[in-house]
Amino acid sequence: MSLPKDFQWGFATASYQIEGSIHEDGRGPSIWDTFCAIPGKIADGSSGVVACDSYKRTKEDIELLKSVGARAYRFSIAWSRIIPIGGRNDPINQKGIDHYVKFVDDLIAAGIEPFITLLHWDIPDGLDKRYGGFLNKEEFTADFEHYARVMFKAIPKCKHWITFNEPWCSSILGYNSGYFAPGRTSNRAKSAVGDSSREPWIVGHNLLVAHGKAVKVYREEFKPTQGGEIGITLNGDATLPWDPEDPLDVEACDRKIEFAISWFADPIYFGHYPESMRKQLGDRLPEWTPEEVALVKGSNDFYGMNHYTANYIKHKKGVPPEDDFLGNLETLFYNKNGDCIGPETQSFWLRPHAQGFRDLLNWLSKRYGYPKIYVTENGTSLKGENDMSLEQIVEDDFRVKYFDDYVRAMALASSEDGVNVMGYMAWSLMDNFEWAEGYETRFGVTYVDYENDQKRYPKKSAKSLKPLFDSLIRKE
């Protein structure tokens, strides 16, 4: 069991979840600022106004990364810090650019490799108000292309770029369930606007086209001199059949992954959507123009993989409702025999099952021709962690075991299965604003005391990863 000698490991965060300082240095509002201001949208009524105060504490964050031995750090840029309104003809905010340029310089000086995500869900609110944001293909893709070019030019030292984080979440949670910003859904009790049966598929398509445009810009205008790489990060869970003897449950396992991951990966690797989606969604799934296929197919230098959990999958019979996004199936934590997939966590959707990680790494590798994979997020919350004492919180043995099990499963996939995995970023460097769950759920390897000036306390898990990777990464 081992990992390649040039394997990169570290931690990940996202701008809206940690930065705070939402009115500092010319930053414009994002759709998450607007969403958080709507009563009832965030579990504890909070927002990213202060978060972990990381915008003002980059030095402290880098010291934290160094102290736990991280070789890499994945973070995202707040688009509305760079172009406050967001558009290609709107003013650029030099203070925002200067902030991230200095941060990258400081990371590199500390021996930490930056992995930059251009958009981790927090699109400028100005673009949503101006033309509907993600829903407007022509405008959004042109504006994102412009923003990407500004960043590629400003930070030539960054060698690893990610266009979008989890387009599934932007599409489904933002435009089907309305659980995430901008909160559009057919459920009129939740939103006055939205069409859950059509809008998510339009948004997903537009994100892929925008990704393709940004990759083309990078490869043609910057890669020849900068020598970096660019890809997209996709999220998805491992699947096991509820009844292994039922071929329809076995088939539904693949379909679940196709509706979550292959929705985005198939166009990038094959130039079309999965047949299972085409069959269920019909004309609600946008058609690819020849120009779009040329833009998107082959637009990954690496595959960014976010992964946390697994489910038992049970097929459903009959015609699925129009707002179904799973693929006409149920996701369960118990199988036909009553076996539980993994222990409870604070997150209703998350149960640890490390073997599923290895299985999914293999599934993706076989389907997409063994691409280079960076695991750009992996981690867990702990049930009741927010209600524990500081002494209990820093002794997070549950999280230590999660990382140990998952990293070893990844090492087996690498050394025994031929999976080309070259990086791993634990989620997350510190407790932070957990989107719709507010500050009630903690994913950090570092405790953040929100009541007392965002003071940081590394947990046992923060210190567990360096010895683990030291034992697994080959020396020669």
Q: Would you name the residues annotated as active-site residues?
A: 166, 377
Q: Rounded to 5 degrees, what angle do the CA atoms 16, 19, 22 make?
A: 75
- Count other C-beta atoms under 10 Å from residue 57's C-beta: 18
Q: DSSP label at 112?
A: -
Residue 393 contacts residue 449 (beta carbons within 8 Å): no
What is the edge-to-edge ordering of all strands in the sheet holding 310-315?
238-241, 310-315, 329-332
φ, ψ of residue 75 in degrees (nearest 5): -140, 170
**Crossing angle for the helix pair 137-154 and 94-109, to the nearest 10 degrees:** 50
Q: Is 292 helix (H, G, I), strand (E, B) or coil?
A: helix
Q: Is 81 helix (H, G, I), strand (E, B) or coil?
A: helix
Q: Give strand ranges (E) for 333-434.
A: 373-377, 421-427
Q: Distance (Å, rounded) from C-alpha 128 to C-alpha 133?
A: 4
Query: Which residue's entry shows tokens 């040039």?
Result: 6
Q: Distance (Å, rounded) from C-alpha 79 to C-alpha 114?
A: 17
